[in-house]
Chains A and B, each alone.
Chain A
Amino acid sequence: MAACAPNGTLPTPSTAPHPSALQLLFESHPAPPQHPAHLYHLALQIAHNLRHQHNWSDVRVYTHSPTSKAVLPRPLVSGLPPQRLYVHPDEQIALLQRQKDAGKTGMPELRSEREWVLPSHLREKWSLKRFGEVFDQIALVPGAGRGELLFGGGDGEDTAEAQEDNEWRTTKRLLLATLDDDSTVVYYIVHDGIVKPRQN
């Protein structure tokens, strides 16, 4: 394959490398005007990571608050993890007690719950105020069917089932997704208030 044409011009488009899956995602979802493109692309990259590395389904991206309809400080993502992501320690105790009463051991199968995801980049500076602003604009549980669907993949049944309220979910929480330049993404749960830690 000739890298350059004989007259020294750049390679023709037909010889350029194929764009990556991520790049194709960016191209197929042009950034809406409410947010800077880099924040929208950050959300897309996190969503891509959730779908393809962590097997989340029904991943959606939001530009407006589901509660106040105002523009969000930055695009947010929500999705359905393959297993339950967070079990409150009190819920865990209750579940284990129920299992014991039923003569079984171990944790029962739990239905998955939809989670908020806050995309961020490691090079950003954050403050308490910015966390507060994000929490003020989200509901306790991300409702299904809102926002822009990026990836399906769920069987639909899960989605409907997840809408049942979990009585133990009483504090807003989100998953802080932090991206680094090497495309590593780490996920940390952030609660809006004092929530006792899990004993895992």
Chain B
Amino acid sequence: MASSSAAATVAEPFPIFTVAHKYILYDVDTVSHARAAHNITGVLIGGLPQAPQQNVFSGIPLELMPEEARLLVEKGVAYLVDDVKAHKDGVLGGALAPEERRAFQNALRKHGAAAARDAERKMEERKKGALEKKFGSSDWNDIPEDMLLSTGKRGAKKGKKAGSRTPVPNSAAASGTATPAEEVESLFTPVEAGPASGPPKTGPPRAPSVASSAEPTPFAVTPATSTPPLNPIPPPPQEELPLPDVPSSYPLFKHLHEKSYFMSPGLRFGCQYTAYPGDPLRFHSHFLCSGMGWEEEFDLLDIVGGGRLGTGVKKGYLIGGREPDDAGQEKGVRTFCIEWGGM
């Protein structure tokens, strides 16, 4: 999405989707907005379609720490949306008119048919190219039949491929035959007693419908987004969801965030957060942070260990918590930085 750079504007408050106690942003514009305007980075958790094995660089969706989600909600720039409920209401709850539903189904089917045709065409081209390379002729109808039925390993492989090609263009099509257009019909009807158990698109597979013999079987398309038909930005729910549960280190998180530090999870340095003085793409982190209660006791060994590790990676170890006033009122967060003494 090249168009989603600085020009894209995100209306506030924006939705944060909660699924299974996770806080998720799906929209890339919202992700960059949260980062640019609110210093919230989150963690990208989506696998990349072209490189599903690697886990160094991930894509959307973005998972927020509960602290981050709570901070955004408390600031009033975001609201929580129960993702399962929003889907159920949006898809099953009669949010779609019958003609809208039909139009959407037709669009899906068309998309699947186009994809199948495309795959078929590519297959043909590849086959043609391979034959041309091997026999120097693009007209493979001239080749005697026994040349294709070689006893060698390569030949056998080729024959296997050729044999399986007509009904199943590739592995994606294999699943396509099992879940064809008819399933799309069933998508928006409550198929089971407990439709809440999962997204509505996972209905039981139906018997394959017979596609026209001239056309390849349409692929079953599972849309990557549910918009359309769903509204991309669900409105705030009638009754507000409870604020995300946060650990006791939340005051420290909020305090550092107010001082425009970027906070990211601190597991790799054995702490709760790593604090960056600016965007983590531009800065090294300054602090390894551990939040705690004002009177919570800790071992001095924790200080020594944190200070030692922090200094070893050119960072400071930062501890802090909310200091109550003598009258029991909040005095604000007080922090202490620890570095190795060098002696």
Q: A residues 185-200 with Cβ under 8 Å of B?
A: 186-200
Is B321 a contact partner of A128 (Cβ separation < 8 A)? yes
Is A189 a contact partner of B340 (Cβ separation < 8 A)? yes
Is A22 in the interface zone, CB < 8 Å from B? no
Is B343 a contact partner of A189 (Cβ separation < 8 A)? no
Is A190 a contact partner of B314 (Cβ separation < 8 A)? no
Is A125 a contact partner of B297 (Cβ separation < 8 A)? yes
Contact with A along B34-59 (1 / 0, CB 8 A): 00000000000000000000000000
- How far, in angstroms, from A175 to B298 measured CA to CA in the complex? 18
- How far, in angstroms, from A196 to B320 measured CA to CA in the complex? 15
Return chain B residues, CB-CB under 8 Å to A200.
Answer: 311, 314, 342
Is B341 in the interface zone, CB < 8 Å from A? yes
Is B336 a contact partner of A128 (Cβ separation < 8 A)? yes
Is B119 in the interface zone, CB < 8 Å from A? no
- How far, in angstroms, from A122 to B299 measured CA to CA in the complex? 8
Q: Given A132-B334, A194-B335, A197-B316, A175 and B341 touching (CB < 8 A)? A: yes
Is A197 a contact partner of B310 (Cβ separation < 8 A)? yes
Is A3 in the interface zone, CB < 8 Å from B? no
Is B334 a contact partner of A189 (Cβ separation < 8 A)? no
Is A128 a contact partner of B334 (Cβ separation < 8 A)? yes
Return chain A residues, CB-CB under 8 Å to B294.
Answer: 127-129, 132
Is B301 in the interface zone, CB < 8 Å from A? yes
- How far, in angstroms, from A55 to B294 measured CA to CA in the complex? 36
Q: How far is the CB of A139 from chain B (nearest CB, A)?
A: 17
- How far, in angstroms, from A121 to B319 measured CA to CA in the complex? 19
Is A107 in the interface zone, CB < 8 Å from B? no
- How far, in angstroms, from A40 to B316 measured CA to CA in the complex? 30
Of B286, B301, B323, B341, which is within 8 A of A187 by CB?
B341
Of A85, A187, A194, A199, most B-chain CB atoms within 10 Å? A194
Is A128 a contact partner of B300 (Cβ separation < 8 A)? no
- How far, in angstroms, from A127 to B339 measured CA to CA in the complex? 17
Is B343 a contact partner of A54 (Cβ separation < 8 A)? yes
Is A178 a contact partner of B300 (Cβ separation < 8 A)? yes
Return chain A residues, CB-CB under 8 Å to B321.
Answer: 128
- How far, in angstroms, from A149 to B343 measured CA to CA in the complex? 22
Of B293, B299, B304, B335, which is within 8 A of A186 by CB?
B304
Is B301 a contact partner of A127 (Cβ separation < 8 A)? no
Is B340 a contact partner of A131 (Cβ separation < 8 A)? no
Q: B residues 247-306 with Cβ under 8 Å of A?
A: 256, 259, 277, 286-287, 292-301, 303-304
Is A199 a contact partner of B314 (Cβ separation < 8 A)? yes
Is B207 in the interface zone, CB < 8 Å from A? no
Is A176 in the interface zone, CB < 8 Å from B? yes
Is B337 in the interface zone, CB < 8 Å from A? yes
Return chain B residues, CB-CB under 8 Å to A120.
Answer: 300
Q: Given A122-B300, A196-B277, A187 and B343 touching (CB < 8 A)? A: yes
Is A155 in the interface zone, CB < 8 Å from B? no
Of B277, B292, B316, which is within 8 A of A128 by CB?
B292
Is B337 a contact partner of A197 (Cβ separation < 8 A)? yes
Is A124 in the interface zone, CB < 8 Å from B? yes
7 more A-B contacts (CB under 8 A) besides A129-B294, A187-B343, A197-B315? A54-B343, A120-B300, A126-B300, A188-B341, A190-B338, A197-B287, A197-B311
Per CB-CB distance, the 3 closest pairs between chain A and chain B, nearest first, are A187-B341, A197-B316, A125-B297
Q: List residues of A whose CB falls within 8 A of some B CB.
A: 54, 81, 85, 120-122, 124-129, 131-132, 175-176, 178, 186-200
* A–B Cβ pairs within 8 angstroms, 18 of them: A81-B343, A85-B342, A125-B299, A126-B303, A127-B296, A128-B323, A128-B334, A129-B295, A132-B294, A132-B323, A178-B304, A186-B341, A189-B338, A189-B339, A190-B337, A192-B336, A193-B335, A194-B287
